[in-house]
A and B are shown apart, each in its own frame.
Chain A
Amino acid sequence: MAQSSDVFVVVPIEMDPSTKAIQALSSSNDPLLTRELEALNNLHQNLKSAPGITNGIPPPPTSVGPKLSTQIERMRQTGNNAFRKQNYAEAVDLYTLAISMALRRPPWEPSALLREELQQLYANRAQAHISINNWPEALADVNASIDFKRVGNPKAHWRKGRCLKEMGRYEEAKEALEFGLEFGNDPELANMLKEVNEALSKRKL
Chain B
Amino acid sequence: MSTDYNYDDKGQFFPYFVLTILGLILCPLTYSTFAPSKQPGISKTPLIKENNYKPPGNEAIEAARRRQKRKERRLKRFTSIVIGWALFAYMAYLIAVTANADGKIWDPYEILGISMTTDEKAIKSHYKKLSLKYHPDKIRPTANQTLEDLNNHFVELTKAYKALTDEDIRNNFIQYGHPDGKQSFSIGIALPTWIVSEGNNYYVLAVYGLLFGILLPYYVGRWWYGTKKHTKEGVMTESAGSLFRAYDENIDEKKLVEILTTGEEMKLITGGAREKEWIGSEEATIERKIKAAGLADKQMKVIEELDGWRRRALGLLWAYIYRVDLGSEKLSNAKLDVAPAAIALNKSFHAIALAYSNTQPVMASMRLNQCLVQAVPPHASPLLQLPHFTNKTVAAIEQDGGKNHWTVQRFIACPAEKRKKLCVGKGLLNDEQYEQAINFAKALPALSIESAFFKVMGEKYITPASLVNFVVKMRVVPPGSTPPAVDAKDLLDEDPDETDVEALLGRDGKSQGKAGDQSMTPLAHAPYFPRDYSPTWHIFLADEKQGKMIVLPQPITRWEKSTDNFAVQTFKLQFQAPPQPGEYTFVMHCVSDSYLGVDKKQNVTLVISDPSKVEQIKEDEEISEPEEDSLAGQMNAMRGGPVKKSKKRSSNADDDDSSEESDTDGEEADDQSETDTDTDTDEE
- Residues of A with Cβ closer than 8 Å to B? 150-151, 168-172, 178-179, 181-183, 205
Q: A172-B404, A178-B603, A182-B585 are in contact. Are A205 and B544 (CB under 8 A)?
A: no
B129 contacts chain A at the CB level, 8 A cutoff = no
Q: Bound complex: CA of A154 vs CA of B545, how far in Å?
A: 13
**A175 and chain B: residue at smallest CB distance:** B601
B302-323 toward A: CB 8 Å interface, digit per residue (1/0)? Answer: 0000000000000000000000
Q: How far is the CB of B599 from chain A (nearest CB, A)?
A: 12
Q: Bound complex: CA of A169 vs CA of B406, how far in Å?
A: 11
Q: Bound complex: CA of A169 vs CA of B544, how far in Å?
A: 21
Q: Is A182 a contact of B404 with CB atoms below 8 Å?
A: no
Count CB-based A-B contacts (< 8 Å).
Answer: 22
Q: Is B545 a contact of A183 with CB atoms below 8 Å?
A: yes
Q: A168-B404, A169-B404, A172-B404 are in contact. Are A182 and B418 (CB under 8 A)?
A: no
The 5 closest A-B pairs by CB, nearest first: A182-B544, A169-B404, A182-B545, A169-B403, A205-B414
B587 contacts chain A at the CB level, 8 A cutoff = yes
Chain A residues near B404: list those with CB within 8 A: 168-172
Chain B residues near A182: list those with CB within 8 A: 544-545, 585, 587, 603
B128 contacts chain A at the CB level, 8 A cutoff = no
B392 contacts chain A at the CB level, 8 A cutoff = no
Question: Which residue, of A151, A169, A182, A183, has the highest number of chain B Cβ atoms within 10 A?
Answer: A182
- Chain B contact residues, majority secondary structure: loop
Within 8 A of A (CB), among B435-457: none
Chain A residues near B414: list those with CB within 8 A: 205
Q: Bound complex: CA of A188 vs CA of B434, how far in Å?
A: 44
Q: Bound complex: CA of A158 vs CA of B266, how far in Å?
A: 45
Q: Bound complex: CA of A197 vs CA of B650, how far in Å?
A: 28
Q: Bound complex: CA of A135 vs CA of B414, how far in Å?
A: 29
Question: Which residue, of B418, B544, B603, has the highest number of chain A Cβ atoms within 10 A?
Answer: B544
Chain B residues near A179: list those with CB within 8 A: 544
A-B contacts, 14 listed (Cβ < 8 Å)? A150-B545, A151-B545, A168-B400, A169-B403, A169-B404, A170-B404, A171-B404, A172-B403, A179-B544, A182-B585, A183-B545, A205-B410, A205-B414, A205-B418
B394-420 toward A: CB 8 Å interface, digit per residue (1/0)? Answer: 000000100110000010001000100
**B585 and chain A: residue at smallest CB distance:** A182
Within 8 A of A (CB), among B53-106: none
Q: How far is the CB of A151 from chain B (nearest CB, A)?
A: 7
Q: Bound complex: CA of A151 vs CA of B546, how far in Å?
A: 10
Q: How far is the CB of B380 from chain A (nearest CB, A)?
A: 15
Chain A residues near B585: list those with CB within 8 A: 182
Chain B residues near A168: list those with CB within 8 A: 400, 404
Q: How far is the CB of B106 from chain A (nearest CB, A)?
A: 78
Q: Other CB < 8 Å A-B pairs besides A182-B545, A182-B587, 12 of them?
A: A151-B545, A168-B404, A169-B403, A169-B404, A172-B403, A172-B404, A182-B544, A182-B585, A183-B545, A205-B410, A205-B414, A205-B418
Chain A residues near B418: list those with CB within 8 A: 205
Q: Bound complex: CA of A169 vs CA of B401, how far in Å?
A: 12
Chain B residues near A183: list those with CB within 8 A: 545
B521-565 toward A: CB 8 Å interface, digit per residue (1/0)? Answer: 000000000000000000000001100000000000000000000
Q: Bound complex: CA of A179 vs CA of B547, how far in Å?
A: 11
Q: Bound complex: CA of A150 vs CA of B400, how far in Å?
A: 30
Q: Bound complex: CA of A170 vs CA of B406, how far in Å?
A: 12
Q: Bound complex: CA of A173 vs CA of B418, how far in Å?
A: 26
Q: How far is the CB of A129 from chain B (nearest CB, A)?
A: 19
Chain B residues near A170: list those with CB within 8 A: 404
Chain A residues near B544: list those with CB within 8 A: 179, 182
Q: Bound complex: CA of A168 vs CA of B400, how far in Å?
A: 10
Q: How far is the CB of A28 from chain B (nearest CB, A)?
A: 18
Chain A residues near B400: list those with CB within 8 A: 168
**A183 and chain B: residue at smallest CB distance:** B545
Q: How far is the CB of B586 from chain A (nearest CB, A)?
A: 9
Q: Bound complex: CA of A66 vs CA of B400, how far in Å?
A: 49
**B547 and chain A: residue at smallest CB distance:** A150
**A180 and chain B: residue at smallest CB distance:** B544
**A205 and chain B: residue at smallest CB distance:** B414
Q: Bound complex: CA of A205 vs CA of B411, how far in Å?
A: 8
Chain B residues near A178: list those with CB within 8 A: 603
Chain A residues near B603: list those with CB within 8 A: 178, 181-182
Q: Bound complex: CA of A172 vs CA of B404, how far in Å?
A: 8
Q: Bound complex: CA of A73 vs CA of B545, how far in Å?
A: 30
**A185 and chain B: residue at smallest CB distance:** B585
